[in-house]
Amino acid sequence: MAAQIIDGKKIAAQVNEESRKEISMLARDHNFQPGLAVILIGEDPASQVYVNMKDRKCRELGIYSAKHVLAAATPQEEVLELIAQLNHDPKINGILVQSPPPPQIDEEQVVAAVDPAKDVDCFHPQNVGKMFIGRQDGFFPCTPYGVMVLLERSGIDPAGRHAVIVGRSNIVGKPMLALLVQKTAGANATVTCVHSRTRSLPELTRRADILIAAIGKPEFITADMIRENAVVVDVGMNRVEDAGTQRGYRLVGDVKFDEVAEKAAFITPVPGGVGPMTIAMLMHNTIKACKMQHGIKI
C-alpha cells in the first residue's frame, strides 16, 4: 500500500486532549464549565448511538452534558419550548437537536429556534452565512471542520491546490466548499463541487489534488477516478449487507479503500478517519461557545 493513512482516531484524541486542558483552564481561571444539551426526539437506534457517544465524550472531557430524550410523538411546540428554555439556561452553552427528527417536526423551524450563539452544529442560517463570508465568530459544522483539522494536522496545506468535493449536501459538501475556498490560512484552495448532475465526473475527480468524497454511495470512488498521489478524504459511512459478519452488515466509506490506497498519497480510513473528528469538533465548538458567551477571547 502506497498511501499514508490519516489516523482520525489519533488526531481526534489530540483535539480532545487539548479540549480537556481548555476545560481545566476555564474551571481554574474563570470557574466556568462548558455545557452541552442534546435533544433526541424518538428512538431511532442510530441516533441513540450518536447521542450516547456525545454524552459520553462530554463527561469524559468535563463538559456538563444534558441529554433530553423526548417521545417520538412529541409535538413541535414542546420541542420549541424546550429549546427556548435551553436558550436561556446559563449552564448550557451549546444546543443540538439530533437529526433526523420524526416527521411531525419541522426541522427548519427547530434549527431557527436555537440561539445562534449556542448553535454548535452550525445548522442555523446565520452561522452558515458567517462561515461562508469568512467570519470566525460563528461556528463551523463539525464534520467539515473535522476534515479541515485532519488536513492541517497531516501537514497538508490546501493553498493553491485543487480540492474536488464529491457531493453537495448542506451537512458536508457545501460547507467543505465554503471552508476550503476562504482566503484564510489552512484554506485558499481552488474548489470544485461535483454531484449527481455532473457530466464526466471521473474526469474532474482525476484533477483533484485533494478529493473529498461525501456522496453517500458505498465505494463509489475507485482508483481510476483519482490522480496519482492525491489526498483522499472519505466522509462516507454506508452500511452494506455482509452475511459473513455478526451484525449482517459492514461499514464502508464512499471510497474503494484498498485500490485507492495503492494510488493515493494520503487516505482516511472508514471507520477511524473522519468519524472520530465530528464529535471532537463538537466538543471544541461547545468550548468556543462557552468562551464567546462569557466574553473570553477565543
Nearer to a second copy, 53 or 181 (CB): 181
Nearer to a second copy, 75 or 129 (CB): 129
Q: How far is the CB of 116 from a second copy (least distance, A)?
A: 8
Q: How far is the CB of 193 from a second copy (least distance, A)?
A: 5
Nearer to a second copy, 57 or 130 (CB): 130
Q: How far is the CB of 75 from a second copy (least distance, A)?
A: 23
Catalytic option among 54, 118, 174, 288: 54
Nearer to a second copy, 126 or 293 (CB): 126
Catalytic option among 57, 118, 119, 121: 121
Give the residues lining the site for a second copy (CB under 8 A): 108, 124-130, 132-135, 138, 159-162, 168, 170, 174, 177-178, 181, 183, 188-195, 197-199, 204
Q: How far is the CB of 167 from a second copy (least distance, A)?
A: 11
Q: Is 98 part of the annotated catalytic residue set?
A: yes
DSSP the chain: --SEE--HHHHHHHHHHHHHHHHHHIIIII----EEEEEEES--HHHHHHHHHHHHHHHHHT-EEEEEEE-TT--HHHHHHHHHHHHT-TT--EEEEPSSPPTTS-HHHHHHHS-GGG-TT--SHHHHHHHHTT-SSS---HHHHHHHHHHHHTT---TTSEEEEE---TTTHHHHHHHHHSSSTT---EEEEE-TT-SSHHHHHTT-SEEEE-S--TT-B-GGGS-TT-EEEE---EEEE-TTSSSSEEEE-SB-HHHHHHH-SEE--SSSSSHHHHHHHHHHHHHHHHHHHTT---
Catalytic positions are 54, 98, 121
